[in-house]
Amino acid sequence: MSTPSSAIHRLILIRHGETEWSKVGKHTGTSDIPLTPLGEEQAAGLREPLDELLLTDPLVLSSPRVRATHTAELAGLSVSRTDEMFTEWNYGSYEGITTPQIRETDPDWTVWSRGGPGGESPQQMSDRMDAVINGLLDDLITRSVVLIGHGHLSRSLLARWIGAPIEFGAHFAMLPASLAVLGFDGETRQIQSLGITGYRSADYVDAGRPAHVRTV
């Protein structure tokens, strides 16, 4: 995926810290669910990784949901602007329920293939991410951009950043309070880093994923 060569700065994607819904795998789109105490610790832990990135005059953008704005605050970031464009995938009638619950009546469902009934389709989410990216390219000519958002939002944007179909987002992971670094190699868009956290991410079991079992 190409972009004007004058856009040289990095885009940093941050997923919010843990919430009571995210830790059990409930789809959280429009609901305004706060961080757990652990989520607050995770968010505060982002300060050091962000400092190490040596960002240039960062423009800090955020979803207006409290789990995102509070993550930004705890990470030491001053939000310049919030926008509904940076909110999570709208899951429609699947809001607040888990994938196993959804599959009791819709066995083959994934958000990547079917979206949220009454919410956003994959094509609508893809179009929204393209609009977000296009809106940031001019800023990336002169400064770094930090976007604090959500899990499926970030994974969707990662896919569209490299010009892949939105369903390719299924292959990316965004743990709570993790960051990804997006940038450029000449005119080519790159994912330069993924999965950076300020905590021991190997110890964290994300909802819906099996626990890591150590053998002696």
Given the residues 18, 40, 88, 120, the one annotated as active site: 88
Q: Residue 64 has what DSSP assignment? A: S
Bridge-based pairing of strands 179-185 and 188-196 is: antiparallel
171 catalytic per annotation? no
16 catalytic per annotation? yes
| Helix/strand/coil for 88 | coil
- Cα 78 to Cα 25, 57, 82, distances in angstroms: 29, 12, 11
The residue ranges of DSSP E strands in the chain, in sequence order, are: 11-15, 59-62, 81-82, 145-149, 179-185, 188-196
Order of strands across the sheet that contains 59-62: 81-82, 59-62, 145-149, 11-15, 179-185, 188-196
Given the residues 9, 16, 150, 152, the one annotated as active site: 16
Instruction: Provide the CB-side half-sphere exposure for 6 (13 A, CA).
Output: 6
Check: CB of residue 88 under 8 Å from CB of residue 28. Answer: yes
Give the residue numbers annotated as catalytic, written as ranges.
Answer: 16, 88
